Amino acid sequence: MSKANVHTTYNHEAKNWRNISEGASKPVKVYETKAEAQQDGRNIAATRQVEHLIHNMDSKIAQRNSYGGDKFPPKG
């Protein structure tokens, strides 16, 4: 199973939302709405125990959530 972080992004060419793993060339799945993509992206990230990065339509990261693999206590 992949340990790559999951990104929820908007595809301007296809006019849809998608979840894509870091380093992948093809999305895991495509969606009509951001809400659908976010929910499924969260589930994928939780299963893989990686970060889920949610982007706005302008590609800027709006939110990021971690679902495991974090070192505790954090450095610093």
Q: Say yes or no to pLDDT of 72 above 80.
A: no
Whole-number Å distance between alpha carbons of 44 and 22: 13
Q: Please report the pLDDT score of residue 51 as a whole number.
A: 96
2 pLDDT band, cuts 50/70/90, is low
pLDDT for 75 beyond 90? no
**Mean pLDDT lowest among 21-25, 54-58, 66-70:** 66-70
pTM as predicted: 0.87
Which residue spans within 1-76 are E strands per DSSP?
6-11, 16-21, 29-31, 51-55, 61-66
